[in-house]
Amino acid sequence: MLAEQLREETRKLIAERDKLESEIRQFESVLRANGSDLTSPLVDDEGFPKADLDLPTIRSARNAIIRLRNDHKKLTDDIEASLHRFYAQSQIEKASATSTTNASASTVPFARVNAVAPDSPASAAGLERGDQLLMFENVNEISLLPATVSRNENKEIKVLLERANRGLLTVTLVPRKWSGKGLLGCHIVPI
């Protein structure tokens, strides 16, 4: 699943940020050991370098800390973006799993195919008179079928149905204009 890959990507970014934070702490300890920090002056009141400080080490540590903090900020932004992608993908996968579960759990037919016109989209999909519809895309109410059909014109729709002596079947139907009436070419009635 893509969400799991995004989770792993986020974990790697967090581990990389933790490593940077450790390096920053090391350089901060170098500054403390030399009696300095990022803002303490390196020159005396007359503008001369302080003789009691190891200036090359302090400057090197300050430079490293500034560079690492910039990298840290970028990594934090990358982690935030990765978390947003992970959360969005998790929601998509959760919704997909829920609709799949609902489709498989729905065992109560809500409509029946009363007639199928020859050479129609319904005929091409394999619908037959007497088929009982359990799910039509993600819909299981007959009142929602017209909107679902028109919204999915020229797109594949999965239809879960029950056929006498055959059990549950899933067919793929593509609502489209054809030589007959409507986008399906079948008559569906409520049960």
- Helix/strand/coil for 40: coil
pLDDT above 80: residue 95: no
Q: Each residue of 139-171: pLDDT tens digit?
A: 888 999 998 999 999 999 999 999 988 888 999
62 exposure class (CB count in 10 Å sphere: 0-12, 13-18, 19+): buried
Q: How many CA atoms lie within 13 A of 149 on its CB side?
A: 18
Q: Where are the domains of the chain?
A: 2-101, 111-190
| CA 155, chain centre distance (Å) | 22
* H or E stretch at 160: strand 157-163
| CA 156, chain centre distance (Å) | 22
The pair of structure tokens assigned to 134 is 């359990």
Task: Give pLDDT, residue 55.
Answer: 94
pLDDT above 70: residue 100: no
d(CA 46, CA 4): 60
Mean of pLDDT over the chain: 90
Q: Which CATH architecture has domain 111-190?
A: Roll (2.30)
In angstroms, what CA-CA distances link 33 with 16, 29, 66, 163?
Answer: 26, 6, 18, 81
d(CA 86, CA 94): 12
For tokens 């059990």, name the residue. Answer: 167
Q: Each residue of 3-23: pLDDT tens digit?
A: 788 889 999 999 999 999 999
